[in-house]
């Protein structure tokens, strides 16, 4: 609890590889953490309008580690990143341009 009270985002980022490795080794608590994180990702994607057949690109150091914990329908749609995240964000924004100047 002391760590979580005072930790900054980079501090949590430093712990992430230990959690993913422990989950891969079968640690029950680490697997539960990964499953909970994947559940939140799935919920957010669904809320944003994801549907079967749309690609999912999990970026960052920990993102791809969530793949096996996602629902099966989503697992089959995960693709590898082929550019920096900002490039994908800009492409998505361009696709969503409604031509109304916003």
The predicted structure's pLDDT at residue 6: 86
The predicted structure's pLDDT at residue 101: 55
The predicted structure's pLDDT at residue 44: 95
Residue with tokens 């900054």: 8
Indicate the domain borders of the chain.
2-95
Give 3-state DSSP helix, strand, coil % of the chain, rounded to 5: 60, 0, 35
Each residue's pLDDT expressed in tens, for the chain with a length of 102 residues: 788 788 888 888 888 899 999 999 999 999 999 999 999 999 999 998 999 999 999 988 889 999 999 999 999 999 998 888 788 788 878 887 755 555
């Amino acid at each position: 609890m002391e760590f979580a009270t005072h930790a900054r985002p980079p501090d949590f980022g430093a712990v992430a590889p230990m959690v993913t490795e422990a989950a891969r080794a079968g640690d029950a608590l680490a697997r539960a953490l990964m499953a909970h994180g994947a559940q939140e990702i799935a919920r957010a994607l669904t809320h944003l309008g994801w549907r079967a057949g749309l690609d999912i690109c999990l970026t960052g150091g920990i993102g791809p580690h969530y793949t096996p914990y996602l629902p099966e329908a989503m697992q089959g749609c995960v693709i590898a990143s082929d550019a920096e995240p900002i490039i994908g964000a800009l492409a998505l924004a361009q696709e969503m341009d409604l031509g109304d100047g916003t």
